[in-house]
Structure 1
Amino acid sequence: MDSFVGSVGYFNAIIVFCLLVFVHELGHYLVARWAGVRVETFSIGFGREIWGRTDKAGTRWKVSLIPLGGYVKMFGEGETLIERGESDGEERERPLTEAERAVSFAHKPLGKRAAVVAAGPVANFLFAIVILAGLYMVHGKPVPTDFQEQGVGSVREGSAADRAGFQPGDRILSVDGRPIETFEDLRQAVAESGGERLSFTIAREGERLTLNAAPEVRDSEAEEGGTGYLLGVTGPVARFERQGPFGALASGASETWRLTALTLSAIGEIFYGDRSVDDMGGPVKIVQLSNDVAQLGLLSLISFMAVLSINLGLLNLFPIPMLDGGHLAFYAVEAVRGRPIGERTQEVAFRIGLALLLALMIFITINDVLSLPI
């Protein structure tokens, strides 16, 4: 299976993205149906319809040409309905009937409208929890390793560590007299070495040895004139413990919360200038990462899909007009004022939001293209 996933290549990105869009829109659809709203269209992608069918409830399920998102079109956005005359083909407005008002989205109570809008992002978060829980039940949850207890996981052939005589299982006690407790301590010591020869005190099969090695400049850093250094060892091999359904769900929810917090923290660092905008990723980078992760196997691709689902849910909750979070912001104002925001104000806000989203997408895409390896 891993080889098949790897062979699919860049097409993995389309599969993953379309699945996440389907989950997002399914959240809107299911809650809309629960709220008694008539759903006219459920589309994966935009543009010309490639495939479609209409169900008994009158919803048109379709796949469209451009797989860059999706939408659920709900019936009723105002007090009137535009119809085309059967005889002359002219478009005319007419008031909604009582039966139509009963299934119109715009005529539902504020709480139900907010629930329908919030259901998309919520579905993405729940999907991430389910994915992670499934991984923890089938493959197991990673268990933190003790570097001092388990020692070096592997030694890369031909590396500075290999030439110095390091072996898997070696417990590195100190570097130039500096105590080493964790793998991160070792990584820091190597990074600060400047490529100078270091003295490593290690424990091997009950004996204490001293090995000397000069970390090498990373290949990618050397090409770019950077200063990253590499010893050539990895940390202990990760252990995985399978969990039962309830424990896996709890762990999945906890990990989803942690990843959400990390994403928000990273966005804050970019906003305040503490992190480079190069860390932002758009469609091009997602396609590249999907292909890279797929080469590692199905489990890695599934884990990556959980991370993308969290990011998709989080993005849609931002209070930007055109996004779900923008609609929820309008509903919050409506709840405070006791009446909806005027149509003209909403129209202007949506246009500004669309412009901002397009500008951001163009910027991120250009940044993605410029960061591609040549």
Structure 2
Amino acid sequence: MNLLQTLLAFMVALGSLVIIHELGHYSIARLCGVKVLRFSVGMGKVIYSRKFGPDQTEWAISILPLGGYVKMLDKREQPDLQLSDADLKREFTNQSVWRRIAIVAAGPAANFLLAILIFSGLYWYGVPEPAARLRAPAEQTVAFQAGVRGGELVTAINGKAVQGWSDLRWQLVQLSVEKTTAKIDLERANDGPAGGNRMSTITIPSTALGTDDLEGDFLGKLGLGLARSKTTLGRVEAGGAGQQAGLQSGDRILTVNGNVVADGDAFVNLVRASPATALNLTLLRAGQEVAAIVTPASIVREGKSIGQIKVEIASGVEMVTLRAAPVQAVSQAVVRTWDSSILQLKMLGKVITGEASIKNISGPITIADYAGQTARIGLVTYLGFIAAISIGLGVMNLLPIPVLDGGLLMYYSLEVLTGRPVSERVGQLGQRLGIGLLMTLMMVAVFNDIVRLVT
């Protein structure tokens, strides 16, 4: 069922982005008076089509679901075709270079516009997400060495306010790519008799903010984890080690073997690491402390023995809702789209120069996986994913690689500078090089995808 949902979410996301991209080309081509022969969703052989409008434009679905295209009247494709004077005026290469630039640039522009519209709507509607509150890190991590002990709320990074967990990650990713030290402002609960909160600042050095694998558990490697709720037991299964020890739904775990348990995840890890080993628990039940001894059953998974007590652990996080007024929502959406585009270009530049690992290049398998995950979380998260992928599609198509929109824009820019179009021979050579480069990038991306799935 999850596989089917993942495939469906991927196809909906990809299909909608391709349609928006090609509609950008189509709408500006029509505005410039260029005759459009075919609008295809998908590549390769046409499997279904219908013709509409005064020009009888063919609207088609093609067999390969990756990509799409708009086919305009172009005498280069049929050099022997005799065109009427009316059609000759509407032929693509007969348009001014500025009109051709507008038509080609309209595809990526449509993707950026879509991202801005989605982000604007989400910021206006309100986006629920985890608060930027930290859990206790392991002692060997950078976060622990910087002074994080758990329970702190991140309020700002380098003077810029942090609104939630995704904003925390986003700002640190940007600093990582820029190799900039992060000064993180924290709000801590005051343990003294006066109560209240106190502020402090920790520093994460630029050397710790690596770019080896920003797609992976980037924050976890730094020791920055999302704080979870206290360890409260849910359903206790009959016949399990938990029931035999007298554990009850609603019990809160205070200590295990005399050590305080930070949260539900920490308790689960302790149980898993203690097969057939007695654990002395201190519980809080109906306001009273109760002692219990539970011995996790030993089960084998993937050739390794782990502990199991058959008790559900209620694990939650502190949530916040990020909401903005309409004008502010649009402004934030524009800034987010711009920052995302620049970040992707910087990251690609670092991959090319060897400053960042090629492991950061993702392909269709990873995108499909994220599509399924975000769709299962909810519509708001899924729409945010579509906006992010739309930005990526716009940036990719603007790269100066022949066969992409950016390659054509590069040719037309040379035409503006020199006053004459790029020769057909140079265009054909560039197309071969562009196809080879794209195939290489695709193979690297798919290889990275497979490695991520395996590991």
Find 2:325's aligned residue among 230, 237, 243.
243
Residue number in structure 2 paired with 1:99: 86
Normalised to the residue count of structure 2, the TM-score between the two structures is: 0.60
How far is 1:230 from its partner?
7.5
Of residues 126-135 and 253-262 in structure 1, the stretch that sits farther from structure 2 once superposed is 253-262
Query: Per the alignment, do residues 5 and 23 of structure 1 end up closer, same or farther by CA in structure 2, a change over 3 Å counting?
Result: farther
Residues 19-64 of structure 1 show CA distances to partners (whole Å, capped at 9, x for unaligned) of 0010000000000000100000100101233332110221111112
Residue number in structure 2 paired with 1:272: 353
How far is 1:229 from its partner?
5.3
Residue number in structure 1 paired with 2:427: 346
**Aligned runs of 1:179-194 on 2, under 5 Å?**
182=154
- Give yes or no for the alignment of 1:37 onto 2:34: yes
Query: Per the alignment, do residues 230 and 95 of structure 1 end up closer, same or farther by CA in structure 2, a change over 3 Å counting?
Result: closer
- Give yes or no for the alignment of 1:47 onto 2:44: yes
Residue number in structure 2 paired with 1:113: 100
Partners of 2:38 and 2:57 within 8 A in 1: yes
Q: Give SS of 2:107's match.
A: helix
Residues 67-104 of structure 1 show CA distances to partners (whole Å, capped at 9, x for unaligned) of 100000000233x846xxxxxxxxxx244331221110
Query: Per the alignment, do residues 205 and 32 of structure 1 end up closer, same or farther by CA in structure 2, a change over 3 Å counting?
Result: farther
Query: Per the alignment, do residues 364 and 232 of structure 1 end up closer, same or farther by CA in structure 2, a change over 3 Å counting?
Result: closer
How far is 1:284 from its partner?
1.2
CA distance in 2, matches of 1:125, 1:335: 25
Find 2:68's aligned residue among 64, 67, 70.
70
- Give yes or no for the alignment of 1:123 onto 2:205: no
**Aligned runs of 1:126-145 on 2, under 5 Å?**
126-139=113-126
CA distance in 1, matches of 2:226, 2:320: 18
Segments of structure 1 that go 5 or more residues without pairing to the other structure are 83-92, 161-173, 189-200, 210-225
Partners of 1:128 and 1:310 within 8 A in 2: yes
Residue number in structure 2 paired with 1:233: 227
CA distance in 2, matches of 1:370, 1:131: 32
Residues 155-204 of structure 1 show CA distances to partners (whole Å, capped at 9, x for unaligned) of 79xx99xxxxxxxxxxxxx95999x783799x99xxxxxxxxxxxx9525
CA distance in 2, matches of 1:269, 1:184: 27
Query: Per the alignment, do residues 231 and 58 of structure 1 end up closer, same or farther by CA in structure 2, a change over 3 Å counting?
Result: closer
| Identity among equivalent pairs (%) | 33
CA distance in 2, matches of 1:176, 1:31: 53
CA distance in 2, matches of 1:5, 1:137: 31
Normalised to the residue count of structure 1, the TM-score between the two structures is: 0.72
**Aligned runs of 1:208-223 on 2, under 5 Å?**
none
CA distance in 2, matches of 1:330, 1:136: 38
Partners of 1:140 and 1:242 within 8 A in 2: no
Partners of 1:140 and 1:243 within 8 A in 2: no
Segments of structure 2 that go 5 or more residues without pairing to the other structure are 139-145, 158-168, 173-187, 197-219, 229-316
How far is 1:276 from its partner?
2.0
Of residues 228-237 and 261-270 in structure 1, the stretch that sits farther from structure 2 once superposed is 228-237
Query: Per the alignment, do residues 341 and 141 of structure 1 end up closer, same or farther by CA in structure 2, a change over 3 Å counting?
Result: farther
CA distance in 1, matches of 2:448, 2:61: 29
How far is 1:272 from its partner?
2.9
Find 1:19's aligned residue among 16, 20, 40.
16
Pick the structure with more helix per residue. 1
Q: Give SS of 2:422's match.
A: coil
Residue number in structure 2 paired with 1:218: none
